[in-house]
C-alpha cells in the first residue's frame, strides 16, 4: 500500500526552479509581460523549462529577442518555445495590436511588467497618470482583450504582480490621475499596486464560470531589477531614512519569481482565485502601514472596491 504524498510547501527562500520542479506544462501557452529583465526573465525561464510555449511581451522587441536567444541557449532540451511580441503598456494601441495578433487559447497570463515611483508626474499616451496607466490600465486592457483566449483554455490562470507598496495608498477613485492632489510618487505607486490586487479580485468575480483563476502577489524586495530605473535614488534614500518605508529582507531574482511561478503553474494552488500571495503563501491581513514588511490591506481585497474599479477601468479603456 502506497503512502500518500504530502502537499509540497514552499517559503520565502524557494526559487522559481524549485516551485516548477515536477510540473509538466507541455501543450500550454503563456504570456509574460516585462519579460526582458528581472523576475520576468526568471518567470519565463521557469515556465519554458516546464514545457510551456512562452511569449515575451515586451516594450523593446530587440531586447526581448536577445533575452529569448539567451534563454534558448540555457534551457534544457524539451523546453517550450519562446517568441517575442511588442507591448508598450503606456500606449494602448500596442496593447490592441498584441491582442489582435494572438490566436488560439491562452493558458497563463502573467502581468509582470511595471514602473515605480518616477520623481515627476508623467502621463500615458491616453493622458492617464503614468503608474496607474501602465501598471493597472495597460494590463487591464490586455487581460480584457485576451479574455476570449483565456476562456478557451482549460483552466487558465492570470497572475497579477502587485507589491507591498500597495500599503502606501488605496485606489483614490475621485482623483485617479492626480488632477487635484499634489503628485506623490509613492502614493501613486501604491494606488497602482492596489489596483493590481483588486484586478485579481474582479477577474475572480467575473470570469470564474470561464474556468479562469486570478491571483495577485508580492514578489519581494529584489535589488537586481530594472523596476527602479525611473526613480530618484536620493529621494528613495531620504524616504527610507524618514522611517516611512519598511522593506522586507532582500531576495534573489529567482526567489522573487517563485510566487509568480507558483500561481501560474503549481498544482498546490489549483482552483484558488481572488487572493493575494507573498513568499509562496497567502498573505496575512494588516491594518496599518507603520512597521509592516508583509501582509495585505483589506482595501486591496475588498469586493466592492474591485467591482467599482472594474467598472471605471472598462470606461477608461473604451
Residues with catalytic roles? 189
State the Cα–Cα distance between residues 217 and 239, nearest whole angstrom.
24
**Alpha helices for the chain (secondary structure H):** 16-20, 38-49, 61-74, 92-101, 130-131, 139-152, 185-207, 233-241, 253-256, 258-265, 303-316
Contact between 8 and 188 under an 8 Å Cβ cutoff? The reply is: no
Return the bridge partners of 84, or none. 56
- The C-alpha cell of 316 is what? 477608461
Distances (CA, A) of 3 to 6, 21, 103, 125, 266: 9, 21, 43, 58, 22
Tell me how long the chain is: 318
Q: How far apart are CA 269 and CA 272, in angstroms?
A: 5
Closest-CA residue to 91 (of 133, 119, 51):
133
Provide the pairing of β-strand 53-58 with 29-33: parallel
What number of other Cβ atoms are within 10 A of residue 302's Cβ? 18
Which residue carries 510566487 as its cell?
A: 259
- Cell numbers placing 110: 502573467
Q: Are 176 and 312 in contact (CB under 8 A)?
A: yes
Contact assessment for residue 55 and residue 83, using Cβ atoms and an 8 Å cutoff:
yes
CA distance 187 to 172: 10
Amino acid at each position: 500500500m502506497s503512502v500518500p504524498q504530502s502537499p509540497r510547501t514552499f517559503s520565502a527562500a524557494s526559487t522559481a526552479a524549485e516551485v516548477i520542479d515536477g510540473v509538466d506544462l507541455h501543450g500550454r501557452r503563456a504570456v509574460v509581460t516585462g519579460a526582458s529583465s528581472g523576475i520576468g526573465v526568471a518567470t519565463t525561464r521557469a515556465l519554458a523549462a516546464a514545457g510551456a510555449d512562452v511569449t515575451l511581451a515586451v516594450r523593446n522587441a530587440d531586447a526581448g529577442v536577445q533575452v529569448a536567444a539567451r534563454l534558448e541557449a540555457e534551457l534544457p532540451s524539451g523546453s517550450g518555445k519562446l517568441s517575442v511580441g511588442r507591448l508598450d503598456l503606456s500606449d494602448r494601441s500596442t496593447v490592441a495590436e498584441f491582442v489582435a495578433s494572438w490566436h488560439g487559447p491562452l493558458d497563463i497570463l502573467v502581468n509582470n511588467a511595471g514602473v515605480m515611483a518616477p520623481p515627476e508626474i508623467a502621463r500615458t499616451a491616453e493622458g492617464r497618470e503614468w503608474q496607474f496607466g501602465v501598471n493597472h490600465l495597460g494590463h487591464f486592457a490586455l487581460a480584457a482583450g485576451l479574455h476570449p483566449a483565456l476562456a478557451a483554455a482549460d483552466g487558465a490562470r492570470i497572475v497579477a504582480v502587485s507589491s507591498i507598496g500597495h500599503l502606501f495608498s488605496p485606489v483614490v477613485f475621485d482623483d485617479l490621475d492626480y488632477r487635484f492632489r499634489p503628485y506623490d510618487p509613492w502614493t501613486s505607486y501604491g494606488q497602482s499596486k492596489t489596483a493590481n490586487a483588486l484586478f485579481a479580485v474582479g477577474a475572480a468575480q467575473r470570469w470564474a464560470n470561464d474556468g479562469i483563476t486570478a491571483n495577485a502577489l508580492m514578489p519581494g524586495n529584489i535589488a537586481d531589477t530594472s523596476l527602479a530605473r525611473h526613480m530618484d535614488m536620493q529621494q528613495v534614500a531620504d524616504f527610507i531614512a524618514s522611517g516611512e518605508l519598511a522593506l522586507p529582507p532582500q531576495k534573489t531574482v529567482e526567489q522573487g519569481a517563485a510566487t509568480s511561478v507558483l500561481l501560474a503553474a503549481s498544482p498546490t494552488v489549483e482552483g484558488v482565485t481572488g487572493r493575494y500571495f507573498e513568499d509562496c503563501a497567502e498573505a496575512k491581513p494588516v491594518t496599518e502601514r507603520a512597521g509592516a514588511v508583509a501582509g495585505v490591506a483589506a482595501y486591496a481585497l475588498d469586493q466592492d472596491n474591485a467591482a467599482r474599479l472594474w467598472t471605471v477601468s472598462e470606461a477608461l479603456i473604451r
